[in-house]
Structures are given as C-alpha cells and as structure tokens.
Structure 1
Amino acid sequence: MTASPKNFDISGPLANQNALLNSLYDIDDIRQASFKNILLLLYIATWLTTIILITFLSDAPRDLLWLNILLMMFCGVIWWLNGSIPHWTPYLLITIMWIFTMLGSLLIHDPLILFGLSVVIILSSNLTAVPMQLTVAILSTIFIARFYTLDEKTFGPFIFIWISLAASFLSQRGLIRALDISNRYQLYAIDQMKKAREQRAELAKMTHALLSSQENLRNANAQLRYARDFAEEARKLKAQFAANVSHELRTPINLIVGFSEMIATAPEAYGTQLPSVYRPDIQAIYRNATHLQNLINDILDISQIEAAKLAIIKEETQPKQVIEEAALIAGSLIKSKNLRFCVELPPDLPTIRMDRTRIRQVILNLLANAVRFTNEGVITLSASVDEHVLTLSVSDTGQGIPAHELNRVFEEFYQVDGNFSRKNGGTGLGLALSKQFIIQHGGRMWIESEGIPGQGATCSFTLPLTDTVYYPLHDLGHTPQPSTVIHNILVWDDDPAILQLFKGYSQDHQVKGYTDATKIIQSVAELHPVAVIAGSHMPTDDLEAAIQHVSPETALIKCPMPSGRRAVQAIGLSDYLVKPVSRQALLDALEHIGTDLDKVLIVDDDWDVLRMLTRFLQTAKQSYTVNTASGGLAGLEIMRQDPPDVVVLDILMPDVDGFTVIEHMKADPFLKDIPVIVVSARGATEAITQSVEGKITIQREIGFQPIELVSCIEALASNLMLPTAPKS
C-alpha cells in the first residue's frame, strides 16, 4: 500500500522537498495528459475527414458528412468542459466516440467499421477506469448482436473487442504498478532527505523504516513457496534497485568524504587556516560520512549476495593462518579498550576449502562486535574440530543479548537494544552479511547468551571439512542432486581474474585454473577432465593434440573471456579508479604513471567532482598544473589547444562519454600517447567489458550422442539471460 503525498510528513520549508513532492504523479495526471492529446488528434482527424468528404468523395452519404461535423463540434465542447469538470470529460469523450462509431457503422453498412469499437476500448484504457472499459465492451457486443448477424465478417470485430479489452486491462495494470513503484521510490527519497537534516535522535525513525522494509522482504521470501515466479521477479527488482541506488550514492558520498577529509587534514589547500571551533564539526562530518560509505558498501554486498552475483572463491587454506591474521588485526582495537584477548586453537587444524578473505572478514566482524559491547573483561577466540566441521567461536564478557532477541540478531539492520547499539555504533549489517558468507560456504552461524551483563555472548559458526556446494534459494536453474563424484574442469587463460571468476561461480564442478600451456597439458593427462575451457585468443593447437591423444572424451570449449585487464589494456588506459576515489588512490595512480608529470586535465560533468579532484592534486607533494573540463567535448577542445601530460576521465557524461573521448584521442596523433586514468562508479569488468562478443566453440574427439547433444544445448540455453543492467 503506497503512502499518499497528502498525508506523507515532509514538514519544513525545504524547496527541494516540495519540488520532489510535486513530481509525484498519479494515474489521473497521466490520463489527463493522454486525454488532451487524443482529443486534439481526434479533432484533426475529423477535420481532415470532413475536407476529404467534401472535396474528393462528394457521392458519400451526406449523413456521414454531418456526422463528422457534429463530432468536431463535440470535440470543441468537450475541450471547453475540461476546464471545469476534468474528471468527467474523458468519460464523455469515450461515450461520444462509441456513439459516433456505432452511427458510422450503421451509415456505411460495412462490418469493418466495427473494428473502430476496439479502438474506442483501447483509448478508454488510457482515459478511464476498468468499469468504463467493460461497459463499452458489453455495449459493443450488444450492438453487434442487435444490428448485425454473427458471421465471418462480424466475428473478427466481435472477438477483437474482447481481446482489446483484455490487452488494455493488462497494459493498464502494468502502468499502475509501475507508477506505484515510482511513487514509492520518490516518497522514500523525500523521507531520506528529511531525515538527513534531523538530529541524531531522529535516526530511530530511519531504523524503524529499514526494519519495516526488511520485514516486507522476509514476507516476500515466505511467499516464495506458493508463488515462486512472482517472488523471483520481486527479488530481481529489489536487488537491481539496491545495487543501482548504491552506485548512485557513491559519487555524493565520495564528495562528502573527500572534501571533509581535505578540510580536516589539509586546510592549507584552501589558502587559509581552519578556525579551531570548526575542526570538531568537520571531523564529525568526515567520521560519519565514512561510516555511511561503509554502510553503502555493505548494502551493495548484501544485494549482490541476494542476486547471486557475489562470488565465493574457495581455495585450499590453512584456517590457523586466517584466524591468526584476523586476531593480529583486531588486537590493537581490543587493546585500546584495555580488554584481555585470548586465542585458543588446537595444535593441528586441518586444511579446508574456503574463501580466506570472506572468512577473515567474518572473524573480524565478530571480534569487532565483541569489542563494541564489552567494557571490561576478556574476549576469547577459539576453534574446535570434529569429524565433519570446523567450529570457530568468539566469546565476550559484555552486556549479553536477551533471549527473546537471539533469533533476530541476524536480520539486516536489526540492532539489539537500539539505544545501547546506537551508543556503541554499528549498522546492523555485519552479522547479516557474515551469516550469508557462512551459508555460502555450506556452514551455519548462531549466538548463545543468557542476557546477563558480565556473562556476555558467544557467537559461533561452522565450516565443513569437505567441500559442499551452495545453491541459492532463488537459483534460476535446476538444483542438482548431491553427488559424491565431483568432476574436474580445467580453465586456461592468461588473466588470473578469469580463473578466479570460474572458481567462484562454478557450482557443480571442481575448477582448476592455469596460465601455463605446459601445465594444463600435463593436467589433462592426469585428471581426464570433463571439459577444458580456453580463451579464444589462446593458442590451442598443442592442447587439442594432447586431448585427442590422452583424453578424447574431454570436450574442448573455446570462447572469448570477459577480461577487465585485457579490456583496459585494449583501449589504452593507464589506470582505472572506482568511485569512491580517495585522495591517496588518485595520487598513487599518478605516481604509477611517472614522476615527470606536470599538466593534469580532469574531465567530468560534475562540477563538485572537478573541485574535489582539483583539491586532491593541490595538496600533493609534487606540484601539478591542474586544468578542468565539464564535459567530453570541452575536454577534447582543451587537449587539442594545450595537450596535458595525463587525463583523469569520467566515463558517463551527457554530451560525449569517456569511451568516445578515448577513441578521439587515439585517432589524433598529438593525443594518442597521453596517459588516461578513468574514474567510474562501477568496476572495470562491469563498465568496460559490458558483454563478451564472439562465439563459443565446443569440440570433442569422440563426438556427442543425440541425447547428450540435446542436454548440452538445453543447459546452455536455460542459462542465457538478456542483459538488463544499464551501461555506466
């Protein structure tokens, strides 16, 4: 149920809030706009028809001419009435059109005119509600039955009337739903803009709103058992919205963090000293903006997990090393609160397959939570092993968690005892994200606590000793049955990121990656894999000969690979920075190009970004001459007049995008060798390699059985998806 603009609280004299509110449309606004266009077109069409009847069809029935003249008059009257009764004039127009269509069919005595009744129904879907459309359809049916004989000439118009009604109903329903979703998002934006200007105490309202959103999401997931198709579509929309909003927020958050960092740490860049009374406030802005930046990244991670786009890269890993790394990182934080830290590990922990980066992140999240809610005592990190799983636990002597809240701590944005959690920081996403990572590893996570201050809580998770395959609930394909046999697939490419891509997203097979031709040929003989996948740019003659000789049952698949590294190299980029861009990242990119740089040209359509990046360079140890351009065309003009030593280039610009600018530079002999650093809100693989063009070739020495061939093609086709994400 959508919030009404009339009762939505947007108190405060904020012009931008009023502008947003005024931009909210309802179905009557759209119908009124369509009404005026349709009425104008009808008037013009009637006027032209009248001229044609008078000039060229003088033998036409005079009644038909008068009918057109009357219709023109009615159009004028309806236009005049629209100023006083705009709600009823669309209904009047549809009624007049139906009557005149009916009279026209009686005058001409041609059943083809009856198709005009379907046109009236289609137009009524844009102007009136469903009851009016249904009324027109019923009256049209009665009219045909009364004045015509149902034969092959009238059967078409008769059926088309009801087909038009059904199509109009579905179209109108989709329009209303899209409008409803649009209004919800705009109302949400108004709510967020208001809350950003309120005091810290009012953040509880935002927390409540986010909890309500999560409750709605859980309800939608519960309905998955009964309406999988509808829930799947809702999940796609939700994940895409979260990802798009997170990307859109990166630029403004980058500006807030960048400028506040500059003011707080390098005020000399502004040519004046920062008054001491401002410093605490600026530092608070910087600290909270950084916190919000981390929150956006967590939201993006969660949306990627739900969309099955966040890969888990499992490798043979010694868990003791990962635990000790996390303990070393968290040690200084624990020491800063004068807490004792105990690490209890068995002498021999088995090697298991896991994503060491994600598991280290989970351990750090648990340790950070323990520190946040513990003021005195000890924090213990321990591990144990049984026949099937490795169990890791983090215990503290803090406030503890009430028993009635233990089942909710893993909910997104949920915080135990909101006031206490607010005092201790946190976003309510850490445990939710950590549990998702553990589930993707095939483990589970839980919390134990008596809820007694001083006795604290213990958060534990398990990792299976044998590798398991995790299938998301919303997996679009079939869910394979568990199998004790895991087949091997070998991947050969010169980009390590491609090898990690296959390792992270392959669910049914054991993937081994190679960059060396000799090693993959040796592995073919040893492993006899199901398939070998090679980049289409790789020389496969020796590999094909080896497969033919030692493993003819192995299929060789050759296809182009979506390599971000090769894409960056192919278009001649020197570096690629993903927003949010920090001052140090920009300076490191320039330093990587060379130390003899002087003139730097920054090209971006956002003036705030131009100012921020300029400030970054003004505080660098090396002196840079900075020039800026507010668009691609302006940037090219400046380059031709005064070629810079390096260009910092945004990708998405309204006049000429970054890729077009690069193409013009490569075509100009004076500009083609200038280094380019691209800045974008999306990663290199997303923005540069939007899709892989080319062909996939599958060959096997022993050939394919008919059923085998059909199954192979069916599996390939079932996983082909049309690209829907907008380019950036």
Structure 2
Amino acid sequence: AIPVAVGAAVIGPGGAVVAGAGASVLLAALARRAGTGIDLAVAGVPLALIWATVGILAAIYEREAYLAGWSWQQFRRAQALLEETRDRRAELHQALQELAAANLQLTRLNQQAQALRQMAEEARRTKEEFVANVSHELRTPLNMIVGFSEMILEAPDSYGHIPPALLADLAVIQRNSQHLSSLIDDVLDLSQIEAGRAALVKERVELGEIIEAAAIAVRPLYETKGLWLETDRAEGVQLYCDRTRIREVLLNLLINAGRFTEQGGVRVQARQQAGDIIVSVTDTGPGIAAEDQKELFQPFHQVDSSIRRRYGGTGLGLNISKSFVEMHGGAMWVESERGHGATFSFRLPQEPPAPIAGGVARWLTPGWEHVQRTQRPLLPAPVVKARMVVLERGKSLQKLLSRHLDGVEIATVAGYEEAIEELARTPAQALLVNEPSIGNALERLNNLVGLPQGMPAIVCSVPDAGDAAGALGAEGYLVKPISREALLEALDRLCPHAKTVLIVDDEPDAQRLFRRMLVSTGRGYHVLRAMDGRHALNILREKRPDVMLVDLVMPEMDGFKLLAAKSADPELRNIPALVTSARDPAGQPIVTSAVAITQQGGLSVQQLLDSIEALTRLLSPEKPVGEAHSNSGS
C-alpha cells in the first residue's frame, strides 16, 4: 500500500494504478518462486489491501479534481468580475468628473443669470422712475402749450388783432402738441403693460356695440378721404372683456387702415370659431411685404421713415393693441401682400377662463408626489472660482494674473472671435484684453457682435518680451537667467548665419558664461566683448559684428543709450540686437500706462459712479471726495 500511496502523492491517480499493478506483479512473482507452499489466502490479503488503497485514492482524487476545477472556475469568474468592477469604477469616476464639471458650469450660469436679473431689475426700476416723472415733467408744460394755443385759436379777438399767418402757425403748434400728448399717453400705457400694472376691468359686453363705437369715432377720417367703411353688426355675440381696452384695439386698427388707404375702403368682420371670437379689419391699402411683417408689432417700429412723415403715428399703436389682446388670453396677427391690402386680425376667448386656485395650492400640480431625499448627495458642492477670459498674443498678462491672483480660473484666447466662442461656451466674470493700442482694442470691442450682455471688458497694455524689445529698438529680449537653448534659439531666429557675436555686459562672469555657451556649440563663433555702451559702439563701428548681446544696466553708457545710438546711426541700425537683462518687462513696478473699461450694453449712471469711486479709491493717493466728506461728518 505504501508504494501506491507514494505514486498517488507524486504522480496522481495514474501513478497509484501503476504502483498497484507493479506491486501485484511483484507479489505474484515471489509466490511463484517460493513454490506451492504459500497459502493463497495469505497472498490475497496484500493484493486486496493494495487495490483497496488504489480505489480509495482514486475516489479521493476524483473529488479533489472536481473541487479543483470548481475552484478554478470560481477564480476565473471572480477575476472577470474584478476587471468588470474596475472598468465600471473608471466609468463611474469619469461620469462623476463630468457631472462635477457640468455642475460647476451650471453654477456659473446661475450666477451669471442672477447678475443679469439684477441688472434687468435695476433697469426696470430706472425706467419706472423715468416714466413716473414723465407724467408731471412733460405734461405740465405741454398743458400750457396746448391750452394757450387752443385759447388763441378759438378766441383770437380777446388778444386783439392777430395776423392770419400767426394763427396758421399756432394751428401747427397745437396739432403737434396734441400729437406729443398722444405719444406720452402711448409711452405710459406701454410702460404700464411691460411692468404688468395695466389693469383690466372685464365684463360681459356686446361685440356689436364695441365695433359700432369704434366705427363712429373714425368715420370723419374716412369721409374726409372718400373711403367706405363696412362693419359687421355681430348681433347677439357677447364677450367677457374690458370694453375700453378692446375698443382701443379696434380703434387703433381702424385708424391705421384709414391712414394707409387712399382708395377703396375698410371692412370689419367678426366670426366665432371653437369658443373664440375672431375680429378682422381688412383694407384696400398698399399692403405690407412679408419681410416687413416680422417686426411690425415691435414698439416704435414703422416700415420706413417716410411713413411717419406722410401718415404720422408713433409706431406704438400696434404694439399696445397686441399687448391688450394678449392680456385677455388672445392673439393678434397680420396677413398681407404688397399691392393687395392688409388684414389685421385678433382672437379673444368668448368665455372667461377657469378660476385659478388661491394660495400656495395654485403652484402645485395635481397628482404630484413629494419625495424627500433620504441620503446626502455624494458629489461635493462645487467650488466656483472666478473665471476670466484673457485675450492676448503673448503670455505676459496671463503670467501676471497666475502669479498674483489666487483662486482665479484663467482661459486664454488669441483672437476676438475665439473670445466670443469661449464666453459662449463657459460664462466668465470679465474679458481681459491685452493690446498695445488701447484705442484700437476699444474700437474692436464696440464693433464686436456676440459679446454677452453686461459683460465687462477691461483693456490694458502689458508688454511682453517682444513688445519690450521693439520699444527699445532691439529685435529680441531674454530675461536672466538665460539657458543655453534659449540663447541659441534666439540667435538662430535673429541671425541664423552669424559668425561674430558682440557681448556687451559689465559683469565679467556673465561675459564668460555667454562666451562658453557660444563656443560649446562648435559653430565657430568669434566672440567680442565690451564692458559698457561706449566701448560697444567703438567695436560696432570697427568690427561690424553680425549680432550683439546687450545688457541694459551698465555704468557710463547703459544699454538703453547704446540701443538708441545704434538706431540713430544708419550704418549700425541693421545689426540685430538681443537684450539679455535681469529686468522682466512684466515684473516692473509700472506694467501699463492706461486701463480702459467697457461693457456690452453700456454703463448706467449708478455703474459709472461706482466705477469712478472704486478706481479713485484704488489709484488716488488721497481718499475720494465722497468718502472724505462722510468721514469728516462722522
């Protein structure tokens, strides 16, 4: 049994069978050699033990093989699930990042919408204050003009002898004053409508009565021009509306039709349709082109300026009429072709709308179920950074902002159109423009289409290395410390085939460093050295090097004077100069000479005053007048 167990342990079930067979053969051979003296029963016991062991080991190995196979399958399955879990985790991580970015974008949009809402609210209050003052400030003197002109025209004898020419002029004054009074009334009505303060006094009225009252009011105009006027009596048709407002709507349409119609006439029709009343005013006038119909209902809009001179009007009647109709829950439209007259129609509901529930219940949708959040959101609240779009050709302003403004997200663009696309993609607090010419930048911004409403644009001129080099009369500008790669790249750009290089620097160590940088290239540079500007000028005139490296701060004649003298000399001005200085153009105490601010849509009076006060507080060495005054009084 021992060889069988050893074979099973070392080889497996097959080894146990082989070991058992070998042991049986060996046992049989021993029995044959010993002769017939061995009891068969005694020899059968080892054989039975051997094969019993083989059977037991086979059963054990079969179970172990099944368990091993099952374990391997479970391991592979767990491995596959682990890989799938990793993939899902990566996808979830990406989805969370995208959701966080979208949440940040939404928060920025909400902040921008809140700012725009506040601006609109301020504009609305300003307009309401203006409209409130118009009634008194304009109507009071206008009342004097209309009253005295009317009195003189009706009773000229009370003023003595008045020439007929003067009476004719007074008639013109009275007519235009009445027109101005009508314009003020229209503007006030429009303001009340836009503010939602125009009240409607609704009642059940006969439509025929409204049509007849409007027709009686305009009939003298039609008779004067020889036009016919046909009206639908609309007997038995009732409306639930504001009698005065609907009469004004119909009167505006009839007056417009009478003004623009020279021959023929006007027809008023009314019909019922699906619980609504549709009233149409059709004229035989010149008609309206399709492209002019789109803005016909806009305030102060008329097809062209000649209409106001020829027919009069303010361009507010249609807009006010359309607003009155929409306040009743209706609609107004026009159908016309040039040369075939026009039909203005409006639709009104015949019955009042169903009452709306009072209190907070009116905001709830029937069947809506409130679901309380049971767990805290997994996404952290977004940290919204101030975001600015920087428009510049270099990187000087971007570096300046990154260095000194913490917690500000900066997006850089190279052109105005790209800036518009960036602002449309993600909101920002301001657009910063870095241009050499502030005037040109302001002109471009004023003509720019697509800049978000209320977006402030700040223009400055922060020079980068290229601008600083041009201002000095040099072709390049490198800020110390200068690497070997930067120096060679600048030389290749300025003078690729240079052989003689003049180094102008009062520091011997700097001269030695630049010389070794040049010599180590193996290009065969011939290096000349000068300790100040005067010595450098002599070398320039005598040796005529191919390129000059010049420091700015030196004794005697510094780099500024050297570059100015070189530019003034016709024989030397074409030698390229590369400034190698420790003075960073963007790191100087004075980085720009002017700052300009503009805003899409303009600045209100309050914004202008706030800007003046803020800039004065920041830039003036003394406190603003208003602040000083308030402090002195406290």
Q: TM-score if structure 1 supplies the norm length?
A: 0.33
Q: TM-score if structure 2 supplies the norm length?
A: 0.38
